[in-house]
Amino acid sequence: MAKAKTAYVCNECGSEHSKWQGQCADCGAWNSLSEIVLSPAAKNAPAAARRSGYAGDATAPRVLSLDAVAQTVEARTSIGIGELDRVLGGGLVEGSVVLIGGDPGIGKSTLLLQMLGALGERLNGLYVTGEESLAQVAARAQRLGLPLAPLRALAETCVERIVEHAAAHKPKVLIIDSIQTIWTELLTAAPGSVSQVRESAARLTRFAKESGISVFLVGHVTKEGGIAGPRVLEHMVDAVLYFEGESGSRFRVLRAFKNRFGAVNELGVFAMSEKGLREVPNPSAIFLSAHAGPTPGSAVMVTREGTRPLLVEVQALVDQSPLANPRRVALGLEQNRLAMLLAVLHRHGGAAVYDQDVFVNVVGGIRVQETAADLPILFAILSSFRDRALPDKLVAFGEVGLSGEIRPVPNGEERLKEAATHGFLKAVVPKANAPKKARIGEMEIVGVERLSEALNAIL
């Protein structure tokens, strides 16, 4: 046998290099290259096809009018778990490959088993377990109260044999729990190594595209929060969903990080119970912590992750620092954004926190990526700094610019309505987002253009 060819793949950006280097020449990350073994099949396939995972040439390509194709693509099936359908962009797409990542014990296996249960007889599923025994899977299904007869499971870790079984059984949905346990006969590397994970995922992706079977891959998350194995796994699949939650909280958030068939940042909310995951179809108020009254350092914002508004509490703690370099800790939002907001607060809000430790946390373990969080974050910080609670039933949103201006955010009216529905009495928002009428129901709306105006509005 010829000596196996190897290459190096960057875990950060997924680019390939023929030689090992300390720094990835493409993305500049240090120490991110891992050696992979190229399989003979993969070596002969064109590089681009190999990277995208579409090397399957079982059917010779033809030139077609898109009109003729449009009717056949995107046949969607509703799963019957509303929050999961929502995150997938409106249901399960035939032949799609979905990667679900999350910490161990967060509920990935439970969710996918419940999904098969919900599909039941409608769509034949196959659950491939590489981590648990069949008895453990059956016991869990029983505990979840799922109908056992339509559930098919297979304990197998070799990708070639999985594909054989699936081809024989013809399920419509194939679940691989987890991709890190799967290996291919083409490579001699150990299961779980980057090359095995990559090749196996590529094989399964090809299989999904050829057969029209929808494949779900479970992926473990590394300490840094990415899916173990190179980023190339994320490029290969159609959708990447992350299952997140705070330890100790029973709420779980499923977030679309990439989706070729729907909106990214769409959130699905679940609660873990003794009977498995339950949907939380109206989650807008669960991210508010239950204070008896107004507390210093707490502000409520209306964020719009995905396609619906959510009321979320941000908490800040600002305290005299004993350190020469005070701490800046941001949980659930970007660290750099916090540093920028503190600079704006100093320059345009007149509050100097350079000698203070600043901790900011988004309640409920959710992550807020949009800039609408800027204003409420500054409110929470200032409130903690002055040790004075914000007015009761106050809600805010708005982007803060470097010159202290408050910029509008998308879907202002929808956010305001959501806040009014939940009994908030005052909203401080960008002027361009404020409606002409200064109230919605009981709620007074204050439109502001500058940070100084916003701070005056809450005094």
User: Is 81 marked as a binding-site residue?
Assistant: no
> Number of residues in contact with ligand TYD, rule: CB under 6 A?
15
- How many Cα atoms occupy the beta-carbon half-sphere of 257 within 13 Å? 21
Residue 180 near ligand TYD by CB under 6 A: no
Is residue 103 marked as binding?
A: yes
Burial zone of 71 (CB within 10 Å; 0-12 exposed, 13-18 middle, 19+ buried): exposed
Q: Does 285 bind ligand TYD (CB under 6 A)?
A: no
- Rounded CA-CA distance 18/39 in Å is 15
Q: How far apart are CA 130 and CA 118, in angstroms?
A: 22
Q: Which does 389 bind (CB under 5 to 8 A by kind): ligand TYD, Mg ion, none?
A: none
116 binds, among Mg ion, ligand TYD, none (CB under 5 to 8 A by kind): none
Taking CB under 6 A as the rule, does residue 114 contact ligand TYD? Answer: no
d(CA 180, CA 230): 12
Least distance CB 452 / Mg ion (angstroms): 51
Residue with tokens 């409608």: 122
Binding stretches for Mg ion (CB under 5 A): 109
Q: Which of 53, 101, 102, 332 binds ligand TYD (CB under 6 A)?
A: 102
User: Could you tell me which residues are beta bridge partners of residue 313?
Assistant: 300
Q: Is 106 in the site for ligand TYD (CB under 6 A)?
A: yes
Beta bridge partners of 278: 271
Asked if 426 contacts 394 with a C-beta cutoff of 8 angstroms, the reply is yes
Which of 86, 108, 198, 415 binds ligand TYD (CB under 6 A)? It is 108
Task: Choose, by CB under 6 A, the member of 43, 76, 140, 260 that binds ligand TYD.
Answer: 140
175's contact among Mg ion, ligand TYD, none, with CB below 5 to 8 A by partner kind, is none
Alpha-carbon span 9 to 1, nearest angstrom: 24
Going 123 to 124 to 128 to 133, the CA torsion angle's sign is positive
Contacts of 301 by beta carbon, 8 Å cutoff, 6+ apart: 311, 312, 313, 314, 368, 372, 373, 375, 376, 377, 395, 396, 397
Rounded least distance, CB 351 to ligand TYD, Å: 42
Known binding residue 107? Answer is yes
106 belongs to an annotated ligand binding site = yes
Q: How far apart are CA 109 and CA 456, in angstroms?
A: 50
Quick one: which of 143, 327, 388, 439 contacts ligand TYD (CB under 6 A)?
143
Cβ-based nearer residue to ligand TYD, 180 or 298? 180
Interface residues toward ligand TYD, by CB under 6 A: 102, 104-110, 140, 143-144, 272, 274-276
Which residue ranges make up the annotated binding site for ATP?
102-109
